[in-house]
């Protein structure tokens, strides 16, 4: 493998607490029932629009709530977000081996760049992209393929690591090698049902896998 593409939420970072805070802030503003952390976790993975569609009552103003969520999350300091153990060391080792590293996520693009720089440092990744509106969200493979083209690696030489069903499907659709992370927001059973067959339980296993 000449490149490793990472999902962000639930793969490199545990962002659930901060996402949950912002979701419930929007729900409160629009007099909607609050959701639990588990309900927020289940709604994560397909982008901000899908997240809000899943947590809002059917009669809530989706576009207004979505815009408000984007604003609140862009302003969020990330004080409750944490890096999964071994992530930084793994990325450093990959870079030392000459492997390209990228972040491909459905998180809003501005927030993606902000948290990637905050928790991993500027310039750590060779490519960072979230949902900017320029590409369809995962599991559409367009952004992943564009990243591979930009980094001058073939999809067949690229490993895609993620914790969600959309990550496995993105890798499959893009012609990349899928690998499922078991420390994130989906269970082994959920990932297996989506088609995943190769799993790891920690970043040390990723280095051994490669």
Determine which one of 7, 9, 14, 131 is catalytic.
Answer: 7
Q: How far apart are CA 117 and CA 82, in angstroms?
A: 13
DSSP 3-state assignment of 190?
A: helix
- State both tokens at 77: 């300091």
User: What is the C-alpha to C-alpha distance for residues 190 and 163, in angstroms, rounded to an integer?
Assistant: 10
Do residues 86 and 55 lie in contact, with contact meaning Cβ atoms separated by under 8 Å?
no
Distances (CA, A) of 201 to 85, 87, 162: 11, 12, 12
Q: Is 7 an annotated catalytic residue?
A: yes
DSSP string, 91-119: HHHHHHTT-EEEEEEEEEHHHHHHHHHHH
Catalytic residues: 7
């Amino acid at each position: 493998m000449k490149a490793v593409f990472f999902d962000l939420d639930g793969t490199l970072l545990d962002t659930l607490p901060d996402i949950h805070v912002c979701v419930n802030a929007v729900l409160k503003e629009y007099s909607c029932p609050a959701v639990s952390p588990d309900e927020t976790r289940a709604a994560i993975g397909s982008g901000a629009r899908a997240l809000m569609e899943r947590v809002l009552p059917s009669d809530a103003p989706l576009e207004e709530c979505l815009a408000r969520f984007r604003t609140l999350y862009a302003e969020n300091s990330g004080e409750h977000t944490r890096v999964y153990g071994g992530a930084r060391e793994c990325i450093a080792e990959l870079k030392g081996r000459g492997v390209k590293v990228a972040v491909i996520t459905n998180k809003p693009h501005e927030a993606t760049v902000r948290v990637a720089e905050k928790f991993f440092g500027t310039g750590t990744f060779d490519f960072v992209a979230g949902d900017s509106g320029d590409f369809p969200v995962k599991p559409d493979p367009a952004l992943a393929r564009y990243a591979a083209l930009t980094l001058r690696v073939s999809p067949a030489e690229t490993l895609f690591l993620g914790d969600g069903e959309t990550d496995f499907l993105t890798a499959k659709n893009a012609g990349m090698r899928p690998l499922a992370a078991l420390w994130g927001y989906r269970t082994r059973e959920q990932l297996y049902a989506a088609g995943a067959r190769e799993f790891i339980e920690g970043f040390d296993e990723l280095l051994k896998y490669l």
